[in-house]
Chain A
């Protein structure tokens, strides 16, 4: 495959990008491709690395099912209903995961960190569905599976054993939940998560919705463990919105600690409340990922598995209107660092995982939200049109 006359991020001018198998073999002003090589015209388009949806909940999606009428929001009720829905005979975990994953791919993601709930009611069905879909989509989507204690560990005896079994079955990462506000015994929870990770050589990803100083305290426990234990995969804090609500000098010290401990963060760009200071995080070298979170699930009907839309919302939310700032937003959303893939990008020798979008600049491709999106995974076109966009 050769993509011709295309704009690339952080480069001036237009280039030809030659793909050999699953790898970029050459980038130059003009490349003579051999006859028979598929040529894609990149005129008027930008070629970005495939989006990395660094925080997804594919197992919760109700895509393809009838519209769901919600009760007034109440966390415990919501969790109970969610477990019940997924224990019902008409719920097939792999089917729902696949529906969401197909939308995610069509919209331009080539990689995702996917949470799969593990609890004493649904057991490992979510993880098993995820592993099945990972296999089915091996040629289209790189998936890291997170065995996630969504309903908590301390209040549900047997959950720790299930997480252990999920990691043994092939999950890559163990996922924890608000150590203080949900688990109620933060030290015990963080210790348990790190012990599981250490035992299986897994990564860690902890949902931290806790606001302000409470979130900062939980983060300090995670930082402490991350410094003490050397894990082969990244440690990530999801939703670190507390960094946007504590005093800026305090946030700066925590951000330095995160950098020193090698902890990454992912944001799903909350629709309200504080936003973590993304530029400050990136400046000191913290790996920052962006994710679409859940898509049409118990948690709300608004989200879409569309990383381009997520970048648009991120940029708008942060006041990133100029071309350089829009490029920065795209850099975060295409960064492979939280997945432990530092080389994900468009360069000679990199994997041929791209999304090709109409636009005179990267910024226009974001703001214009085009539905024409050519998605390339491992050198093969896997999608050509966005899905579920209204």
Chain B
């Protein structure tokens, strides 16, 4: 069936309904074989436990596969990668900032090829939305933003946000005009980096960043690598600025490594402030390294999202470009084991569409939801995550954007 922006039916698709605890104690996911109607890129009708009506036309037969919400990559660097080019391992012992200064011009040239290659990879793994941190600095100016926007605007198979990211700091304010330029080009979020360790003058850096955002009506996303008490101070300081500028709901923290090592009491207090200011936290999850206190943040109501961060960059060749693989790693690191434990990680990759209610039922999919999802041969989302089942068909706003091979 050709699903190109037409109105169509999805038939015999498995939808999760609830996770129940059986008499023997095991958690089991209940699913309904269902029919779903898509019109204009939006889900308009969900018929649980039913088949497509007899007069239904343009039917895609899911053959019993599970419907999973599309993944959303909340933090990715599409503009500086070796992915899609020749193999290049990091050279141990080199300063990566210096190495980046050296390699950026060459990497910038490759943006049309390599960012497209990464986007193809992400989409084939079920991700159809990206928040791309894009370098704005004294080396490439706004060239990376220009080149990346050209690529993103040429594609209809992914939703995107571009963050103008001063990777090398504001450099005494000289980068500020470049950030303004990037916002004029089409970036909608102002980035920032470690206000203490990189910028030095914490208050001034935050003042400039928040000033830019307020002036341009832009969001803010801070890279915070600083750990320990320094990083906690930065988070507290940023919260102060959010409250002072009324920028609640428009600010995100990336990495926020300091939260990983903080005491439970400190985390609780900061988590409450983050939730109140609707500051979200984006992170990548590796098989080693610090792990955010996911449970405490989620409990306080902080929106925590996963991202790929880097895929084959100067620092590391690792980074899969697959948010389901990230969920697979996260579930293991959190010690999830049964279906309920694993299923609860889903929203970190899929956002609201992946969230379970407290009574272990699922709201998604419902009429009005964006028709971005994938089909996978799994009985439940816990299996899809634990076995990383193949993503067979990926849809974005109602249109098929990837068809995997049948195994």
Contacts and interface: CB of A to CB of B under 8 A. Distances in A.
Interface of A: 66-67, 69-73, 77, 271-272, 275, 296, 300-302, 312-313, 315-319, 321-326, 359-361, 363-364, 367, 388, 390
Contacts of B338: 69-73
Max count, chain A CB within 10 A of own CB: residue among B28, B318, B382: B318
A100 to B, nearest CB: 14
B386 interface: yes
Contact of A69 (B26, B86, B332): B26
B317 A360 contact: no
A71 B312 contact: no
Given A71-B338, A72-B25, A302-B328, A325 B92 contact: yes
Given A69-B28, A70-B26, A302-B331, A317 B337 contact: no
B322 to A, nearest CB: 9
Nearest to B377: A390
B389 interface: yes
Contacts of B287: 271, 313, 316-317
Contacts of B401: none
A369 to B, nearest CB: 8
B318 A316 contact: yes
B391 to A, nearest CB: 8
B87 A363 contact: yes
B19 to A, nearest CB: 9
Contacts of B378: 67
B91 A322 contact: yes
B330 to A, nearest CB: 10
B89 A272 contact: no
B335 interface: yes
A316 B26 CA distance: 33
Contacts of B24: 71
A271 B387 contact: no
A73 B386 CA distance: 16
B331 A322 contact: no
A321 B22 contact: no
Interface string B383-396: 10011111100000
Contacts of A359: 87
Contact of B288 (A70, A318, A360): A318
Contacts of B387: 296, 301, 388, 390
A88 to B, nearest CB: 14
B233 interface: no
A220 B329 CA distance: 33
A360 B87 contact: yes
A71 B26 contact: yes
17 contacts: A67-B378, A69-B26, A69-B28, A69-B29, A70-B339, A71-B27, A72-B337, A301-B382, A301-B387, A317-B287, A321-B90, A321-B316, A322-B91, A323-B89, A363-B87, A364-B87, A390-B389
Contacts of A321: 89-90, 92, 315-318
Interface of B: 22, 24-29, 86-87, 89-92, 286-288, 312, 315-318, 324, 328-329, 331-333, 335, 337-339, 341-342, 378-380, 382-383, 386-391
Contacts of A272: 332-333, 335
B318 A69 contact: no
Nearest to B92: A322
A316 B318 CA distance: 7
A315 B315 CA distance: 14
Contact of B89 (A66, A319, A326, A390): A326
B312 A367 contact: yes
A6 to B, nearest CB: 16
A390 B382 contact: no
Contacts of B386: 300-302
Contacts of A312: 318
B317 A367 contact: yes
A271 B27 contact: no
Contacts of A302: 328, 331-332, 386
Contacts of B86: 360
Nearest to B338: A70
A359 B316 CA distance: 17
Given A361-B89, A390-B389, 14 more contacts: A67-B383, A72-B338, A72-B341, A77-B25, A312-B318, A316-B286, A318-B288, A321-B317, A321-B318, A322-B90, A322-B91, A363-B87, A363-B317, A390-B324
